[in-house]
A and B are shown apart, each in its own frame.
Chain A
Amino acid sequence: MAERPVRPALAELALVRLREFIREPEAVFWTFIFPLLLAAGLGIAFRNRPAETVKVGVVATSAAAAETTAVALRTSQQLVVDVFRADSAAARALQSGSVAMVVARDAAGALEYRFDASRPEARTARLLANEALQRAAGRSDPVSVRDASITARGSRYIDFLIPGLLGMNIMGGGIWSIAFSIVTARNKKLLKRLVATPMSRGEYLLSFLLSRLGFLVVEVIVLVGFGALVFDVPVRGSLVTLGVVCLVSALAFSALGLLVSSRAKTVEAVSGLSNLVMLPMWIFSGVFFASSNFPAAFQPVLRALPLTATVDALRATMLQGASLASIVGELAVLVAWLVVSFIVALRIFRWR
């Protein structure tokens, strides 16, 4: 038998990480396939549609009067009109939300708009219906206006979403995959067996960061490539800047993963802990909607979260073409998380 040369321990350890990952079909699915399905699903659900139509109901004392009103309303292309024979039927439609507003016409010809002013759709319906009815009655506009509609690449929901999903994926991969491997090794006493060899503990932990970077390249190419090919999502900044943001954030989340898994003895315990860390960031860090929706008082805290920093930096790079210098604040937040998590994790790590 030919004797193979001995590889350095760090290379062997990183190879083990790689093999264990590839041989776990579920892990491959959740890391690479699931984000694509999510992006495709959300991209289709929130695709830019032509101006939406609003449904309004009409009810009047006579069928002829109702028809006159309906004809006037139909002059607006954004309105779809339903005619009701009775007040009760109209009220039911309004309650169930199948019409946004009801126009009621009494015997004298006076109109009443019935709508819930707290619903944006109802307010739109009122404006559109009133406009159509007043014009039909002969109102003329004193100022002439013209609508010019635009759809800019980079301002659609899918453009907002792809960097968010990429950030979420970098976080999930870093925390979940590392926490799972380490706690499984501890639970099966493999960690104890490894520290009974001359293996360097630092190299063991470093191998997780290294293998993480290997997967990262694939994750980024797959998700950014998918966005660019399928939804034409732009990458306006330089690829180097994008690479730096991905690298720094992946290291920060891997360190956070080491911290999360530094003490836990069971997979159940570390699952709970990982969710506790990740769930708030899924909600507050602006993956699916802008974190500026939250009150101003929370903003300093939200901006200090690693996922907020990641997602903000990714969006700035991909959508606004930001340079490295302009995202230095976000990168500083990530480096702080990386250093603090790694040092604390090393201090409190349970090796057996």
Chain B
Amino acid sequence: MSSPTLSAVTTSALVVRDLRKTFGDVIAVDGLTLDVRTGECFGLLGPNGAGKTTTIEICEGLTAPDGGEVAVLGRRWASDARELRERLGIQLQETQLSEKLTVEETLSLFRSFYRSGHPVERTIALVQLVEKRGARVGTLSGGQKQRLALACALVGDPELLFLDEPTTGLDPQSRRQLWELVESLKSQGRTIVLTTHYMEEAERLCDRVAIIDRGRVIALGTPRELIASLGASQIVFFSAADGDRTIDEHALGAIGRAVQSARAPRATDGGWELQVDAPHEAIPALLAELPRHGVRLTELRTHSPTLEDVFVTLTGRALRDG
């Protein structure tokens, strides 16, 4: 992990150093350090409660940190708030826009706050809401509302875009539509910082990802680097018939040792997982080993490792568990 200094601001869109924030007894952000380069899409990936939203809201100038430093586009919130507001586009996690206004009225309002920006019509076209321009916000679907929220963040033509959980709560189709939108923004060379707890989202959209847990960065790199750091080529999942003896910690350890090249055996939702280098050797060994523990196999699957597996390996917990 690199340790950026504030002198790097000329090439960095966002520099965060040793950030700390406590709410009562809860330590939300615990010495977090980041460096987002101009033009990249940077992801903060972590489970709910990891401190992602607190971190991004400190960067957005909406929450004051207890300690640490933040430089956004080379500026500080304390001295350049007004200028920064003009240059940032922000989407918050839980904003509900006024339901009585139409799409066009909502965007005209947001556009009026910025000295310069895109025309409302062009922004509506960009987020594919042309047919809904005259519709009240209250009648929009979840995906359409989220695209409108994105439009509100874009209408001031920002240099840096913050998106906090842009696809949470959306159906798969709406999620894919929003991803395509973010990808088109990326291709225009816009700097984007987004938080997510969906590893597919981080893998698909982000040039670099910081995996956040308990207010700290526990891994940083491109999705490919992070996955490669596991050193495993496949993840093997297996499950047993109901009523069979379950595999306890001890037995799981024994299985892991018996199967050549297997690492990090663990129980998951409805079964067990092993990380392996050579599935063609590991799977026969596993099939031979399981009957010794009284387990009748009902399912056997393999998949390529993902950021989820990286998180699990680093923390012993699944992303969705929180």
Contact = CB atoms under 8 A, between A and B. Distances in A.
Question: Does A associate with B in a complex?
Answer: yes
Given A4-B119, A19-B101, A23-B100, A197 B92 contact: no
Contacts of A195: 62
Interface stretch (A6-14, A32-40, A237-245): A6-14
Contacts of A52: none
A116 to B, nearest CB: 58
Contact of B92 (A12, A185, A189, A198): A189
Q: 6 smallest A-B Cβ distances: which pairs?
A: A188-B96, A198-B85, A12-B112, A1-B121, A193-B95, A9-B112
Given A6-B112, A193-B92, A199-B113, A19 B100 contact: yes
A195 B101 CA distance: 19
B98 A20 contact: yes
A16 B105 contact: yes
B118 to A, nearest CB: 10
Interface of B: 60-62, 82, 85-86, 88, 90, 92, 94-98, 100-101, 105, 108-115, 119-122, 125, 136, 152, 156
Nearest to B125: A1
A150 interface: no
A3 B112 contact: no
B250 to A, nearest CB: 49
Interface residues of A, number: 30
A198 B119 contact: no
B108 A4 contact: yes
B12 to A, nearest CB: 21
Given A4-B121, A193-B92, A198-B114, A13 B109 contact: yes
Contacts of B100: 19-20, 23-24
A11 B105 CA distance: 12
Contacts of B61: 196
Given A16-B98, A190-B97, A198 B113 contact: yes
A31 to B, nearest CB: 16
Contacts of A20: 98, 100-101
Contact of A197 (B94, B108, B114): B114
Nearest to B116: A6
Interface in A102-153: none
A197 B95 CA distance: 13
A24 B99 CA distance: 11
B62 A352 contact: yes
A15 B101 CA distance: 10
A198 to B, nearest CB: 4
Given A196-B62, A196-B85, A197-B114, A12 B96 contact: no
Contacts of B105: 15-16, 19
Nearest to B162: A196
Interface centre among A24, A185, A189, by most chain B C-beta atoms within 10 angstroms, is: A189
Given A1-B122, A197-B156, 5 more contacts: A4-B121, A19-B105, A190-B95, A192-B95, A198-B156
Interface centre among A2, A7, A192, A196, by most chain B C-beta atoms within 10 angstroms, is: A196
Interface string A20-49: 100110000000000000000000000000
A196 B160 CA distance: 13
A104 B65 CA distance: 89
Contacts of B82: 198
A16 B119 contact: no
A190 B113 contact: no
B10 to A, nearest CB: 24
Nearest to A2: B121
A195 B97 CA distance: 13
A189 B152 CA distance: 14
A199 B60 CA distance: 15
Interface centre among B61, B98, B105, by most chain A C-beta atoms within 10 angstroms, is: B98
Nearest to A5: B119
Given A1-B121, A16-B98, A196 B112 contact: no
Contacts of A4: 108, 119-121
A267 to B, nearest CB: 13
A189 B108 contact: no
Interface centre among A13, A188, A195, by most chain B C-beta atoms within 10 angstroms, is: A188
B181 to A, nearest CB: 19
